[in-house]
Amino acid sequence: MSAEAVGRHMPAFVTLDDVATMNAADPNGHRYETSPEGVLSVMPPPDSEHAMIASRLFAWPVMAGWPAEQVLQAVGVRIPGPDGDGGRIPDLSVWRKPPARAVWSTVADVALVIEIVSPGSEAMDSVTKRREYASAGIPRYWVVERDGAQTVTLHELTGDGGYAERARMPLAWLLQTPPAEHLD
């Protein structure tokens, strides 16, 4: 579909309901998100390397006893903003208790969100989402690079409402530690 055709069918203002509909209707597996300011983002479907990293990260806390219904892949998170809510879909999220059934869950019980960097998403994952997740009060944000070591940068919320880098390590090292060392 051309940009012109998309533009003719887009509403003047895209709501979270619109974004949910776009996610459900996309036959190619694209992921649609919006910032609290209303900026629409379209991400391509994850590739096999992305899926393998996500699977390893999902299995790690579950194998250590974290309830599987509290470790979720690709669940929508409502990101509050001063002029309205945005919606992000982190690659993985860990919850203190299972979220209520909704397309866009509130961040109240989110313990951690993880983004796996894909080609073209570097700035979105390291700047935009970092700022949005911090302003939403999510206590931990991890970014997994797609370098040879699959480097994981662990960010923790500080008292000033931003994130500080707590650690940086290869994914294989992280997976050798107990999840309880990193989650509350």
d(CA 131, CA 154): 14
Is residue 27 domain-resident?
no
Is residue 165 domain-resident?
yes
Q: What's the pLDDT at 72?
A: 96
Q: What's the pLDDT at 2?
A: 58
Which residues of the chain are modeled with pLDDT < 50? none
**Residue 52 DSSP label:** H
Domain that holds residue 129: 46-181
Q: What's the pLDDT at 8?
A: 67
Is residue 107 domain-resident?
yes
Task: Count how many domains the chain has.
Answer: 1
d(CA 132, CA 117): 16
Is residue 29 domain-resident?
no
Q: What's the pLDDT at 6?
A: 59
The CATH code of the domain that includes 97 is 3.90.1570.10
Is residue 10 domain-resident?
no
> Any residues with CB less than 8 A from the CB of 168 and at least 6 apart, and which?
151, 152, 153, 154
Is residue 1 domain-resident?
no
Is residue 122 domain-resident?
yes
pTM of the model as a whole = 0.91
Is residue 35 domain-resident?
no
Q: What's the pLDDT at 82?
A: 84
- C-alpha torsion sign, points 47, 72, 112, 161: positive
d(CA 157, CA 65): 25
